[in-house]
Amino acid sequence: MYAGDGSRRASKAFADVAYDAQIQGTGKDAKLWLSVSGMNCGKKPAATFAEEAFCERPIEWNAKTGKFDFAPVSAIKTMQ
C-alpha cells in the first residue's frame, strides 16, 4: 500500500499478506480491516493452510514512522 506525501509523490506505507479487505465507516472514522492469519492473529502458523485460523485486524496510521501498522492484537475480530 502506498500513501501520498502531499507533493504528488507516494511512498510504500504498508506491505503484508492479506486474504481480504473491508472498509468500515466513512471519512475520518473509516477503518481498513484486513483478513490475515497466523502470527498476524497473535497465533503460531498452522501446520497446513487448511488448518489455518484467520482473523480480521485493522491497520492504523503511525504518524511517527509515516507508515501504516496493524492495530494492537486486542483489536482483532476472530473470523467465524
- Asked whether residue 80 carries a pLDDT value surpassing 50, the answer given is no
Classify residue 42 by its DSSP letter.
T
Please give the C-alpha separations between residue 75 and each of 5, 20, 56, 63, in angstroms, as whole numbers: 27, 17, 9, 19
Confidence at 73, pLDDT banded by 50, 70, 90? confident
Amino acid at 9: R
Of the pLDDT bands very low, low, confident and very high (cuts 50, 70, 90), residue 33 is very high
Average pLDDT score, the chain: 88
User: Is pLDDT of 68 > 50?
Assistant: yes
Position 79 scores a pLDDT of: 59
- In the chain, domain spans: 2-6+18-78
